[in-house]
């Protein structure tokens, strides 16, 4: 849509306390009536000095801080950090640890995508999918609670191993859950994803072409929504993801150009199904073993630096750790997927309407805890 100023421009401040900015994002909107000429995101309202904190605690002490970055996918966050430190110290973990880590990471991905889909429904104006999604997410959180005692911030992945082994019989309960859950994804599609009004609201809105997405460094479902088949799990496998059979889902352009809000949303729904597949395979691969076998008594990596990237629900989460040979990291830098997508936000939202701004924020699925860290 071509935008022309034909009246007075009103600056509208959306957030940080706006119901649908997914936390404390502040947007400065230049509006002319319902049209938005420009939307400038202002971030930093949730800055908690994660990186500076990390320089002042010992290596294992950083893990709880990583939990608090992307609080909807803590398992994935701490996994990335642990893998980075393990890479630095050249620790090999056994098969059981790898499989449990994959199970937990993928379950957390499902939970996180359910929140994304549900809150997106809320943004578009339909409250029912939100509660249906949260109902199923609760069941996943119950598994986490059984495993490590926490429902949101787990501190479950440790450097070189896990905090506890799986509780007895959890594998069967997870399989039961998947059997119950997989048909419900189709229910959600019937109720919401392919609803005519929803498609009208999201297809053709907030288009991010593939080349622009790559230029801005957008990753994860947002990049795949633009039609780029890139997934760290497939292209740079860690934890033995190369042995698993799963598809990298990309936007298919069903109702409009690839890269629209609808594509970004529907890629997450596809991914939920793929994650279910991975969890089933990982449970089948589980072998007995000691999950604390390779936990080092003292985490004191050699001098050096490491970059480890993993596929978080929101995209590629990279940890760059510099070690000076001490017990505390010299520097921890996080490459956050939500932060990079905020850069492309202006590109997507220029010349749209106020209601579209909401639907764009919802579709990129940001967690402000990770944007600001």
Partner 1 sequence: MESIRTLLELMPGYRDLPEFLQETLPSFCASLVIFAFIGILVMFLVWMERKVSAHMQDRLGPMYTGGWHGWAQLIADSVKLLTKEDIVPTAADRLLFKTAPFIVFVGAFAAFVVLPFGASSIVSDLNIGILYAVAITSLSVVGIIMAGWASNNKWALYGGMRGAAQIISYEIPAAMSIMVVVMQVSSLSMQDIVNAQKGGILHWHVFRNPFSFVAFFVYFICSLAEVNRTPFDIPEAESELVAGYHTEYSGMRFAFFYMSEYTNMFVVSAIATTLFLGGWTSVFPESLLPKWAPPGPVHFVLKAIILIFVQMWLRWSLPRLRVDQLMYMCWKVMIPLSFALILGVGFLIIY
Cβ neighbours of residue 138 under 8 Å, at least 6 residues apart? none
Residue 323 CB, nearest approach to partner 1 (Å): 45
Cβ(40)–Cβ(346) below 8 Å: yes
Q: Applying CB under 8 A, does 195 fall inside the site for partner 1? A: yes
| CB-nearer residue toward partner 1: 17 or 90 | 17
Contacting range for partner 1; rule: CB under 8 A; set: 206-214, 263-271, 292-300, 348-356: 348-356
Q: Which of the ranges 65-73, 175-183, 198-206, 331-339 carries the binding residues for partner 1, by CB under 8 A?
A: 198-206
Q: Is 296 helix (H, G, I), strand (E, B) or coil?
A: coil
H-type alpha helices, the chain: 50-54, 63-67, 74-89, 95-124, 128-148, 170-188, 196-202, 210-215, 220-225, 232-235, 261-285, 337-343, 345-349, 354-364, 368-372
| 62-65 CB contacts, 8 Å cutoff, 24+ apart | 62/329, 62/332, 63/155, 63/157, 63/158, 63/159, 64/153, 64/155
One of 47, 48, 52, 200 touching partner 1 (CB under 8 A): 200
49/197 with CB nearer partner 1: 197
Q: Is the peptide bond before 292 cis (omega within 30 degrees of 0)?
A: no
Site for partner 1 in 252-281 (CB under 8 A): none
Nearer to partner 1, 18 or 292 (CB): 18
128-148 vs 170-188: helix crossing angle, rounded to 10: 170
What number of chain residues touch partner 1 (CB under 8 A)? Answer: 30
By CB under 8 A, is residue 18 in contact with partner 1? yes
Q: Convert residues 201-220 into a mask of x (bound to partner 1 by CB under 8 A) and - (unbound).
A: x-------------------
- Pairing between strand 304-312 and 161-162? unpaired
Q: Tell me which residues in 91-130 interact with partner 1 (CB under 8 A).
A: 121-128
Q: Smallest distance from the beta carbon of 130 to partner 1, in angstroms?
A: 8
Of 98, 101, 113, 132, the one binding partner 1 by CB under 8 A: 132
Q: Is 356 in the site for partner 1 (CB under 8 A)?
A: yes
- The least CB distance from residue 64 to partner 1, in Å, is 32
Please pick, from the candidates 10, 49, 152, 284, the single residue that binds partner 1 as defined by CB under 8 A: 10
Which of 10, 60, 56 is closest to 36 using CA atoms? 10
- Give the x/- contact pattern for partner 1 in 24-63, rule: CB under 8 A: ----------x-----------------------------
How far apart, in Å, are the Cα atoms of 34 and each of 5, 10, 205, 333, 352? 12, 10, 15, 40, 9
Q: What is the dihedral of CA 209, 210, 216, 219, to 10 degrees?
A: 120
**Chain positions contacting partner 1, by CB under 8 A:** 10, 12-13, 18-20, 34, 121-128, 131-132, 135, 191-192, 195, 197-198, 200-201, 353-356, 358
């Amino acid at each position: 849509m071509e935008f022309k100023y034909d009246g007075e421009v009103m600056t509208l401040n959306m957030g940080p306390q706006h119901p649908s900015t997914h936390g404390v994002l502040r947007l400065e909107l230049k509006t002319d009536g319902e049209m938005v000429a420009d939307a400038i995101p202002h971030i930093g309202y949730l800055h908690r000095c994660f990186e500076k904190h990390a320089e002042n605690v010992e290596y294992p002490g950083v893990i709880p801080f990583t939990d608090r970055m992307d609080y909807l996918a803590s398992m994935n966050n701490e996994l990335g950090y642990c893998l980075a430190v393990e890479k630095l110290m050249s620790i090999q973990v056994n098969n059981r640890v790898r499989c449990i880590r994959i199970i937990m990471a993928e379950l957390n991905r499902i939970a996180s995508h359910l929140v994304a889909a549900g809150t997106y429904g809320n943004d578009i104006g339909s409250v029912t999918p939100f509660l249906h999604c949260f109902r199923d997410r609760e069941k996943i959180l119950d598994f986490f609670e059984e495993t490590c005692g926490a429902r949101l911030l787990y501190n479950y992945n440790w450097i070189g191993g896990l905090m506890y082994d799986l509780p007895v019989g959890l594998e069967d309960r997870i399989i039961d859950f998947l059997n119950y859950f997989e048909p419900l994804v189709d229910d959600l599609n019937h109720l919401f994803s392919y609803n005519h009004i929803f498609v009208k609201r999201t297809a053709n809105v907030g288009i991010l072409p593939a080349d622009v997405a790559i230029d801005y460094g957008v990753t994860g479902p947002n990049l795949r929504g633009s039609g780029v088949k890139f997934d760290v799990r497939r292209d740079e496998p860690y934890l033995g993801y190369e042995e698993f059979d799963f598809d990298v889902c990309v936007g298919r352009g069903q109702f409009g150009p690839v890269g629209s809000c609808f594509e970004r949303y529907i890629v997450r729904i596809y991914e939920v199904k793929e994650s279910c597949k991975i969890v089933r395979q990982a449970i089948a691969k589980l072998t007995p073993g000691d999950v604390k076998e390779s936990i080092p008594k003292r985490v004191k990596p050699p001098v050096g630096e490491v970059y480890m990237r993993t596929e978080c629900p929101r995209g590629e989460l990279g940890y760059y750790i510099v070690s000076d040979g001490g017990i505390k990291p010299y520097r921890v830098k996080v490459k956050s997927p939500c932060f990079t997508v905020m850069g492309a936000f202006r590109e997507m939202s220029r010349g749209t309407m106020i209601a579209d701004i909401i639907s764009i924020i919802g579709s990129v699925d940001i967690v402000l805890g990770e944007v600001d860290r």
